[in-house]
């Protein structure tokens, strides 16, 4: 572990954290603008030119809001819950590769933070830690609606994690490895045609991953836990100011993370034309694919009405889980037919 390697890790972690937090701010702006255009109106356009300073204005507002801790709440858990929810969201993209290797300052720098050889398992594990934060938020608010919201959200996230994990499994089968770097390389192994064949064998897996991802992040149409009309904002009812900003941040950063992972596992990650010769194009391709996936999230939010909670749970267990198993079988059959 040389000093140069340590500095490289620190810089890459810093980059990921900055990218996630700045990305969060501008995904909220992107969402408001895209939702507005779909609804025939213009989004925010007053704060700064074209409204690009709107996230700054929102951030300043949230910082200056009164921090309110309810009377009989469990203060330590109340303060810890947003932290437990947001930290896993920030670190989940540590294993996503943004490119191949780049030679800078005489060293060969890999464009990923960590090539964990069980990358897929890391993703599933870290995503599950956020669930603790949500149930603690609901519990420590000393508010029965928040508690119900927290429990509903927890149940939803746990149920859809099964389908999520199974869609990961089929990707692992096709690539032969759980490491995300290997998965991206396997998608590009046979050139453009290989990438097409990979995606043709995975449409069901892609759709299952997207649906399960939307349910994981409590995003429309699965946003019953934060439904304003039903549960008066669910598990984050009692939160205001910066703590609410942290929950908000956790949700949007998970959206970015799920989009990045979807583009990595199913759309080819940093692969694209000319990435062999110009390794700097890798992150740009990943960025464009992530933007497209985030648009799909926003698009679905603008279109579909909210699921009723019992139908949501029934869908997760009775429809999505069997489909995910089916997808796994299909992946297995394709491997046997193609011969490894």
Residues 159-188 that bind another protein (CB under 8 A): none
Cα–Cα distance for residue pair 292/259, rounded to 1 Å: 8
SS3 (DSSP) at 102: strand
The region of 33-41, 98-106, 188-196, 281-289 touching another protein under the rule CB under 8 A is: 33-41
Tokens of 105: 């300052």
> Stretches 67-75, 79-87, 197-205, 296-304: which one binds another protein (CB under 8 A)?
296-304
Is 229 a binder of another protein (CB under 8 A)? Answer: no
Q: Least CB distance from residue 24 to another protein, whole Å?
A: 23
| CA–CA gap between residue 145 and residue 266 (Å, rounded) | 38
Site string for another protein, 307-326 (x = CB under 8 A): ------------x-------
Helices (H), 217-320: 228-231, 241-265, 281-303, 309-314
Closest CB to another protein among 109 and 300? 300
Q: Does 303 bind another protein (CB under 8 A)?
A: yes
Map residues 35-74 to x or -, x wherever contact with another protein holds by CB under 8 A.
-xxxxxxx--------------------------------
Q: Is 300 in the site for another protein (CB under 8 A)?
A: yes
The radius of gyration of the chain from alpha carbons, rounded to an integer in Å, stands at 21
- CB nearer another protein, residue 15 or residue 304: 304
Long-range pairs for 317-324: beta carbons < 8 A, 24 or more residues apart: 317/159, 320/160, 320/163, 320/208, 320/211, 320/212, 321/162, 321/163, 321/166, 323/163, 323/204, 323/208, 324/162, 324/163, 324/166, 324/167, 324/170, 324/205, 324/208, 324/212
292 binds another protein (CB under 8 A): no
Give 288 or 319: the residue with its C-beta nearer to another protein: 319
Sequence-ordered strand ranges (E) for the chain: 101-104, 107-110
12 vs 33 by CB, closer to another protein: 33
Minimal distance, residue 36 CB to another protein, in Å: 7
| Cα distances (angstroms) measured from residue 288 to each of 37, 56, 217, 253, 291 | 20, 24, 21, 17, 5
Phi, psi angles (nearest 5°) of residue 156: -65, -45
- Retrieve residue 28's tokens: 């909220």
Rounded to the nearest angstrom, the gap between the alpha carbon of residue 90 and the centroid of all alpha carbons in its chain is: 10
Q: With binding defined as CB under 8 A, does residue 299 bind another protein?
A: yes
Interaction of residue 278 with another protein, rule CB under 8 A: no
Q: Are 281 and 287 in contact (CB under 8 A)?
A: no
Distance of closest approach, residue 319 Cβ to another protein, in angstroms: 7
- C-alpha 252/C-alpha 243 separation (Å) is 15
To the nearest whole angstrom, how small is the minimum distance from the Cβ of residue 299 to another protein?
A: 6
**Position among 302, 314, 326, 330 found at the interface with another protein (CB under 8 A):** 302
Contact between residue 54 and residue 44 where contact means Cβ atoms under 8 Å apart: yes
Verify binding: residue 10, another protein, rule CB under 8 A: no
Instruction: Quote the least distance from Cβ 84 to another protein, whole Å.
Output: 34
Q: Segment near another protein (CB under 8 A), from 34-42, 63-71, 78-86, 130-138?
A: 34-42
Shortest distance, position 41 Cβ to another protein, whole Å? 5
- Kindly state the smallest distance separating residue 269's Cβ from another protein, in Å: 25
- The site for another protein (CB under 8 A) is made up of 34, 36-42, 299-300, 302-304, 319
């Amino acid at each position: 572990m040389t000093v140069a390697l340590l500095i490289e890790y620190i810089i890459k972690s810093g980059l990921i954290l900055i990218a996630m937090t700045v990305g969060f701010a501008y995904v909220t702006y992107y969402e408001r603008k895209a939702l507005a255009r779909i609804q025939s109106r213009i989004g925010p356009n007053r704060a700064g030119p074209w409204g690009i300073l709107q996230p700054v204005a929102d951030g300043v507002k949230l910082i200056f809001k009164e921090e309110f801790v309810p009377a009989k709440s469990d203060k330590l858990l109340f303060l810890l819950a947003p932290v437990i929810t947001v930290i896993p969201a920030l670190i989940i993209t540590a294993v996503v590769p943004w490119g191949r290797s780049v030679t800078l300052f005489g060293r060969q720098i890999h464009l990923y933070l960590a090539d964990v050889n069980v990358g897929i398992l890391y993703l599933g594990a870290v995503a599950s830690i956020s669930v603790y934060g949500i149930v603690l938020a609901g519990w420590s608010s000393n508010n029965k609606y928040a508690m119900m919201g927290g429990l509903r959200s927890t149940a939803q996230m746990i149920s859809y994690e099964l389908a999520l994990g199974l869609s990961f499994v089929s990707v692992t089968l096709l690539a032969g490895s759980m490491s995300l770097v290997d998965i991206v390389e396997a998608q590009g192994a046979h050139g453009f045609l290989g990438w097409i064949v990979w995606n043709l064998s995975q449409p069901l897996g892609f759709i299952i991953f997207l649906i399960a991802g939307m349910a994981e992040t409590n995003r429309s149409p699965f946003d019953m836990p934060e439904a304003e009309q039903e549960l008066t904002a669910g598990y984050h009812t009692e939160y205001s100011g910066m703590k609410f900003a942290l929950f908000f941040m956790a949700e949007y950063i998970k959206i970015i993370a799920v989009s990045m992972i979807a583009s990595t596992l199913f759309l080819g990650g940093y692969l694209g034309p000319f990435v062999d010769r110009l390794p700097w194009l890798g992150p740009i391709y990943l960025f464009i694919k992530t933007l497209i996936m985030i648009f799909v999230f926003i698009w679905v939010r603008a279109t579909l009405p909210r699921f009723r909670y019992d139908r949501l749970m029934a869908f997760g267990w009775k429809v999505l889980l069997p489909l995910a198993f089916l997808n796994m079988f299909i992946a297995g059959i394709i491997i046997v037919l193609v011969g490894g």
